[in-house]
Chain A
Amino acid sequence: MSSFRFSHEPIDIAPLRDELLDTHCGGYTSFEGCDHNEGQQVLHLEYEAFEALGLTEGEKIMAEARERFGVTRALCVHRLGDLGLKEIAVWVGVATAHRDEAFKACRYIIDEVKHRVPIWKKEHYVSGDSGWVNCERCAVHAHDHDHDHAHHDHG
């Protein structure tokens, strides 16, 4: 099974951890990304992806992590659809013989996934308003903020 996946259901960590670990791994690092309020009070969220391209780009990132950090086993699952605050939006797990590589690879995977995989997030606010994160601000004031545009740094 591929090491980068999308899930339309809540992410269940226990079976992923079980799939990842083997008897040769001395360290296991995981990262759980959840959504939180930044500014407006968020009621719920919606994740959408261009899944066909997302899977190939995600798989490239996993291969890069294995290559760069000598990681034996790594998995990443990104949630899609409607979810509430504190639900897991993304999960990364890395198992290696040594912990240093596990931390580095985990960090590499989450950073690259956020910037390269075609996934979009729509926040629905308590006020009744909603907005696509990173899109609305670009459209309204293109140059007067320091928002994360690393999206454009990758080809």
Chain B
Amino acid sequence: MNTPADLAAVGAMTQATSQAPRELRVQYFALLREQAGRRDETVVTSAATPRELFTELAARHHFTLGAEHLKVAVNTEFADWSRPLTAGDTVVFIPPVAGG
């Protein structure tokens, strides 16, 4: 368990934009689900924002779609790519939709 002093030390060691590693949930749909080979996963990451998280996961899973073609949802609401992520958040990257 981290004490406040530990957290302060971690904070001092890292840039303001980065985070101590923590668990995030990621769910995948459609093309991203197929390319990731899974419907969801728990990742331990220091990615501060959905944009940073996507960069990390795209490298790991070799996604063919760039972030410019996606939208993002955090905890089942559309979110901004630069929104801060906190432990336990569920992130979904949304490929171009094709309803109807």
- Structural contact, B30 and A48, CB atoms closer than 8 A: yes
Contact A78 B99 (CB under 8 A): yes
Assess whether A50 is in contact with B29, with CB atoms less than 8 Å apart: yes
Which 6 pairs show the lowest CB-CB distances between chains A and B? A119-B99, A120-B30, A139-B64, A134-B96, A133-B98, A114-B100
- In this complex, the interface size class of chain A, counting residues with CB under 8 Å from chain B, is 35 or more
User: Can you name 5 extra interface pairs (CB under 8 A) apart from A114-B98, A117-B97?
Assistant: A120-B31, A132-B98, A135-B30, A139-B64, A140-B64
Chain B 53-100 interface residues, beta-carbon cutoff 8 Å to A = 64-66, 68-69, 71, 73, 76-78, 92, 94-100
Say whether, besides A119-B98, A120-B95, A151-B71, A53 and B76 are in contact (CB < 8 Å).
Answer: yes
Pairwise interchain contact A132-B100, C-beta atoms closer than 8 A: no
Is B27 at the interface (CB under 8 A from chain A)?
Answer: yes
* B30 x A113 contact (CB < 8 A): no
With both chains docked as a complex, state the minimum distance between the C-beta of A147 and any C-beta of chain B, in angstroms: 9
Alpha-carbon gap, A53 to B93, bound state (A): 12
**Number of chain B interface residues as a range:** 20 to 34
Answer whether A138 and B73 are a contact pair too, CB < 8 Å, given A48-B30, A132-B30: no
Quick one: given A120-B29, A142-B69, A152-B71, are A50 and B94 in contact (CB under 8 Å)? yes
**A-B contacts, CB under 8 A, total:** 90
Min CB distance A35 to B, Å, is 9
Q: Could you tell me if B31 and A119 are in contact, using CB atoms closer than 8 angstroms?
A: no
Instruction: Give the Cβ gap from A7 to chain B, nearest Cβ, in Å.
Output: 13
Chain B interface residues (CB < 8 Å from chain A):
27, 29-31, 33, 64-66, 68-69, 71, 73, 76-78, 92, 94-100
Selected contact of B99 from candidates A113, A149, A152, CB within 8 Å: A113
Report chain B residues within 8 Å CB of A139. 31, 64-65, 69
A52 at the interface (CB under 8 A from B): yes
Task: Name the distance in Å between A9's Cβ and chain B's nearest Cβ.
Answer: 18
Does any Cβ of B come within 8 Å of A116's Cβ? yes
| Chain B residues with CB below 8 A from A134, complex form | 95-98
Most buried by A among B92, B96, B99, B100: B99
B78 CB to nearest chain A CB (Å): 6
Contact B97 A122 (CB under 8 A): no
Find out whether the CB atom of B98 lies under 8 angstroms from the CB atom of A155.
no
Instruction: Name the contact of B95 in the complex, choosing from A49, A115, A132, A149 (C-beta under 8 A).
Output: A132
Measured between alpha carbons, how far is A50 from B75 in the docked complex, in Å? 12
